[in-house]
Amino acid sequence: MNKEIKLCLVYRDMWQSSGKYMPRLDQLLQVAEPIIEMGCFSRVETNGGGFEQISLLYGENPNKAVRGWTTPFNKVGIQTQMLERGLNGIRMSPVAADIRQLMFKVKQQQGTNIARSFDGLNNPQNLALSFQYAREAGMIAQGALSITHSPVHTVEYYIKLADAYIDLGAEEICIKDMAGIGRPASIGRMVKGIKDRHPNIIVQYHGHSTPGFSIASSLEAARGGADYVDVGMEPLSWGTGHADLLSVHEMLKDAGFSVPDINTEAYMAARALSQSFIDDFLGYYINKQNRFMNSLLIGPGLPGGMMGSLMADLEKNVASLNRWLKKRNQPEMSQQDLLLKLFDEVKHAWPRLGYPPLVTPYSQYVKNVSLMNAIQLIKGQERWSMIDENTWNMILGKAGKLPGELGEEILALAKAEDRTFYEGNPQDLYPNELDAFRQKMQEKGWEFGLDEEELMEYAMHPRQYEDYKSGKAKDAFNKDLAKRRAAEADSGTSSTATAAPPVPASGPKNLTITVDGVAYKVAIDYGDTATSDEGESAAAPAEEREQQPTSLTPITAPLEGTFLLTKDTGEVGVKLGDQIKEGDTIGYIESMKVINAITSDKAGKVAEIVAKHGEEIEEDGVIIYLS
């Protein structure tokens, strides 16, 4: 009998690889029935990764979404799987061990059968607890090898890595080719090498189609002995997503493998429903660029899973950069121009950062540093002047050992900034926190939820959860969606192209005037003049600073994002009257999913704090004034 290959529909990843949001629970429940009726899937990826944060961002309860979405598949015996990030759990930054443990208990109770766990640096020690907690909770512990292509990431490297994962308790192995740059023949040898050593271990291949290798890699993985192949389906297959179900199915069938038949009527129903979700609102957050494959990504190796957020980031970065260029009478750049410069810079920066696998969150770190390098070079400044704290933690070993050696310029910068390298277990840096979050929820009068799922959600995503509970997230999402719809109506463009965020209304909201050495803050009322919501809260853009008194020195934002006076509860922010030295941290900007410390390039006394904690600030917007 021909070898059977089972198929997994990565429905969650299909959306995340294309844009920002997932369908709502009511939409997921609609599409579940035809997915089941297709009759060809043994597994469906239902949650994990960005699923929780995405639900919170548009004001929905992710726990209700997971429970409701997994139920139809549980009833018919289709296994459900999630993606989790080891030390980071289901968020972008490290999380305490007790929160990680509770997460697995909650997800199993919510109906998730398989925990696909990966570490962005492929550090086995960071996944030991994931395998332990998954098995204790009654889930299948699947260890994912984060595939990338570099001098240190060889076939032998990955086979030995699978050995280490299995020794630590992984019950299955996933070949997680998140950027789709694993060369097909190497993927086949990798799977065969693992199967030769561990014939009873299930191996599942997951590859993004971004540069074009994944369809061939799926065949080579099957020939090497893979048991499952992950697929996408129209209208979100290919592009930065995954090889299409129909293509993979026919290819494997032609190659002599046994694959289940597809109910084409149900396929068309699921396809039509997914398209209706795009037409409803999700298309406003899908950039058209993500619907195309791009062989240029073979060089930088950036993953399909982050391309949705990357294109949204570039949209903002290009707008900010062009404002800067226009003020200096320099030619403006297109988004494509900056994208190509980013690709070139990734190829330069990645080896010097120690070859971290380009998977979440490290793909974000490499991309962010590379993007800031590219922008700084355009502005005539030096590389490495904007390295966020998350990236520094990676560099310093606080996430585990890097696969390669750091570049000399990075080592010199660490020495110049008196930074200390860490060689211990990264989990030890993040002590247990559940009791503290329990106390906070009790003080707020919030319920812990079924199986303490609300406690887990708050502890995992504190700020997003608070915005969800207060209604701020829902309100912000509705306003943003209304603006995008209005922009589409005005321009006549398709909703599948991300509409540019409205530019905040110009005109200062206040001025600080110094009289006889005393600073007076004067509010300016523009009467009935319409202003955008962002304009109300954003710090004054560069044009407004020209109207400020010359006796005060502005310290401005080097990038746009959410301004934070402090990044944790134990920190004290700058205050009026504080003496600031050159190099002092005056706040933080959360941008592109990481937090950047902002330092002052001048010394003086804080005369005014313009930027507001938790609100948006533009590049070149004033943070504080010094006297």
Indicate the pLDDT class of residue 304, thresholds 50, 70 and 90: low
Phi (first) and psi of residue 366, to 5 degrees:
-65, -45
Whether the pLDDT of residue 508 is over 50: the answer is no
Question: What does pLDDT average to over the chain?
Answer: 88
| pLDDT score of 546 | 45
Neighbours of 615 (CB within 10 A): 14
| pLDDT score of 362 | 87
Mapped onto helix, strand or coil, the DSSP state of residue 9 is strand
Mapped onto helix, strand or coil, the DSSP state of residue 556 is strand
Contact 588, 614 (CB under 8 A): no
Higher per-residue confidence, 77 vs 600: 77
| Domain boundary assignment for the chain | 10-286, 297-429, 510-626
For the sheet containing 561-564, what is the strand order? 594-599, 585-591, 561-564, 616-617
**40-71 pLDDT, tens digit each:** 999 999 999 889 999 999 999 999 999 999 99
**591-611 pLDDT, tens digit each:** 766 777 888 888 899 999 999
Mapped onto helix, strand or coil, the DSSP state of residue 502 is coil
Mapped onto helix, strand or coil, the DSSP state of residue 549 is coil
What mean pLDDT is predicted for residues 150-174? 97
Contact 555, 600 (CB under 8 A): yes
Contact 615, 627 (CB under 8 A): no
Whether the pLDDT of residue 520 is over 80: the answer is no
Angle, CA 191 vertex, CA 185 and CA 197 arms, to 5°: 135
Neighbours of 321 (CB within 10 A): 21
Whether the pLDDT of residue 516 is over 80: the answer is no
Q: Which candidate, 357, 359, 364, 322, places its Cα nearest to that of 342?
A: 364
Q: What is the CATH number of domain 510-626?
A: 2.40.50.100
Indicate the pLDDT class of residue 306, thresholds 50, 70 and 90: low
Q: What is the CATH number of domain 297-429?
A: 1.10.472
Q: Enter the tokens of residue 516.
A: 């006889």
Q: Enter the tokens of residue 511.
A: 């001025």
Q: CB-based contacts of 515: which residues, under 8 Å, 6+ apart?
A: none
Chain-centroid distance of CA 99 in Å reads 20
Indicate the pLDDT class of residue 517, thresholds 50, 70 and 90: very low
Whether the pLDDT of residue 358 is over 50: the answer is yes
Whether the pLDDT of residue 579 is over 70: the answer is yes
> What's the 3-state SS for 240-271?
CCECEHHHHHHHHHHCCCECCCCCHHHHHHHH
Percent of the chain with pLDDT over 70: 89
| pLDDT score of 336 | 87
Which of 94-98, 159-163, 603-607 is predicted least confidently?
603-607
* Assigned CATH topology for domain 10-286: TIM Barrel (3.20.20)
Integer distance in angstroms from the first to the last C-alpha of the chain?
82
**442-497 pLDDT, tens digit each:** 999 999 999 999 999 999 999 999 999 999 999 999 999 999 999 988 876 655 44
| pLDDT score of 313 | 75
Whether the pLDDT of residue 174 is over 80: the answer is yes
Beta bridge partners of residue 608, listed in sequence order:
625
What mean pLDDT is predicted for residues 261-282? 97
Contact 194, 160 (CB under 8 A): no
What mean pLDDT is predicted for residues 207-229? 96
| pLDDT score of 68 | 97
Beta bridge partners of residue 251, listed in sequence order:
none
Higher per-residue confidence, 434 vs 379: 434
CA dist 71 and 67 (Å) reads 6
Percent of the chain with pLDDT over 90: 64
| pLDDT score of 560 | 78
What mean pLDDT is predicted for residues 430-437? 96
| pLDDT score of 307 | 62
| pLDDT score of 572 | 83
Whether the pLDDT of residue 545 is over 50: the answer is no
CA dist 134 and 145 (Å) reads 17
Higher per-residue confidence, 139 vs 514: 139
CB-neighbour burial class of residue 422 (10 A; exposed 0-12, middle 13-18, buried 19+): middle
Q: CB-based contacts of 429: which residues, under 8 Å, 6+ apart?
A: 94, 398, 422
Q: Enter the tokens of residue 309.
A: 């957020």
Handedness of CA 524, 525, 529, 535 (dihedral sign): positive
Angle, CA 620 vertex, CA 615 and CA 623 arms, to 5°: 50
Query: Which spans in 94-198 are helix H?
Result: 97-109, 124-137, 155-167, 184-197
Whether the pLDDT of residue 124 is over 90: the answer is yes
| pLDDT score of 549 | 53
**547-572 pLDDT, tens digit each:** 555 578 889 888 778 888 887 666 78
* Whole-number Cα distances in Å, 365 to 162, 305, 390: 25, 14, 7
| pLDDT score of 528 | 41
* Whole-number Cα distances in Å, 581 to 63, 257, 380, 586, 604: 46, 68, 25, 10, 7
Beta bridge partners of residue 45, listed in sequence order:
81
| pLDDT score of 449 | 96
Neighbours of 87 (CB within 10 A): 27
| pLDDT score of 548 | 52
Contact 263, 270 (CB under 8 A): no
> What's the 3-state SS for 534-546?
HHHHCCCCHHHHC
Q: Enter the tokens of residue 89.
A: 């759990």
- pTM, 2 dp: 0.79
Indicate the pLDDT class of residue 230, thresholds 50, 70 and 90: very high
